[in-house]
Amino acid sequence: MFSANITSKSTSDGVVERAFTLGEVPGVIWSPEAGSGRAPLVLVGHGAGTGLGAAGVVGRARRLVLDGGFAVVAIDAPGHGDRQRTETDEREVAAVRRALRAGEPAVPIMVRYIADIAARAVPEWRAVLDSLLALPEFDGAQVGYFGLNMGTAIGVPLTAVDSRITAAVFGQFWPGTVVEAAGRVTVPVEFLLQWDDERVDRESALALFDAFASKEKSLHANSGGHKEVPRFETDSMVRFFTRHLRRPSGAEA
C-alpha cells in the first residue's frame, strides 16, 4: 500500500513530476510522460547542505527519465531541504561553522554529523521504497541508487542492508563511517572521485572504492575540484543503470 500523499503533479518536457510526503518526509517522483510498462526505479540522494530540489538532483533525474526511461525518486534528508532541524542538527551545524571560522579541521565533525543523518535516513528510504514498490507502476526487481558526498554516506549503508537495490553509483566521500558497510555491498558499483578534490583527499576516496566487496566495480576519477564533476559522468551513470537495471531485456549488454 502506498501510504504517501501526492501533494502536487505537473508535467514538463516529457517528464511527470509528483511531489509527495510520507510522514514528515517530502519527496518527488519523476517519471516518463510516455510510460511503457513498469519502469525500473532509481533513488537519488542529494549532498550535504542541499535538498531534493538541488540542480544536480533534478538535472540527473530528468536525464534518467528521458535517456533511460527510468522512474526516479528523491527525498529530503533529515535536517535538509524543507525539513525541520532537530536539536542535534542545530548543534552539529553550529559546530561545523565554528570549526570553519576558527580555521580548525571541520571534516571530523562533518563525518560524524553525516553518519548521524545517515542512520536516520536509511529507514526513511526503506519506508519510501516499501510504499513505491507496492504500486504496479514500478519494477521492484530492479532498483538503482545514485548519490555523491552525503548521498554516498546514506546510500552505502542503505545498499548494504536493502537487497532490493541491485546497482549503485557512489563517490566523493571518506571511508570513515562508511567503509564497514561498503565491505558488505556486493552489487555492481560505479564510483566517482575528483582527482583534485579539495575536500575529499584522493587517498581516502581510493580507499573507499577499494573497500566495496562488489565483483564488478568501476572507478571514474576526473581532473578538477570537488564541484567540477564533468557532465559526461551523467551520461555514464544513465548507461550504467541501463546495463544493470535493464539487463534481462537483453537490449544492452
Q: Which residues are at the interface with its own copies (CB under 8 A)?
A: 195, 206, 209-210, 214-223, 230-232, 235-236, 239, 243, 253
Listed residue (202, 190, 95) closest to 148, CA to CA: 190
Q: How far is the CB of 225 from its own copies (least distance, A)?
A: 12
In degrees and rounded to multiples of 5, residue 208 shows phi and psi of -70, -45
Q: How far is the CB of 217 from its own copies (least distance, A)?
A: 5
Q: Cβ closer to its own copies: 115 or 206? A: 206
Cell of 198: 579539495
Q: Cβ closer to its own copies: 120 or 247? A: 247
Q: Cβ closer to its own copies: 170 or 209? A: 209
Q: Cβ closer to its own copies: 154 or 168? A: 168
Q: Cβ closer to its own copies: 173 or 209? A: 209
In degrees and rounded to multiples of 5, residue 146 shows phi and psi of -125, 130
From CA 20, how far away is CA 26, in angstroms rounded? 6
What is the pairing mode between strands 217-222 and 165-171?
Answer: unpaired
Q: How far is the CB of 216 from its own copies (least distance, A)?
A: 6
Q: How far is the CB of 195 from its own copies (least distance, A)?
A: 7
Q: How far is the CB of 92 from its own copies (least distance, A)?
A: 34
Distance from CA of residue 95 to its chain's centroid? 25
Please report, for residues 75, 107, 159, 177, 249, the alpha-carbon distance to residue 154 in angstroms, rounded to integers and kept in the order given.
12, 17, 9, 10, 30
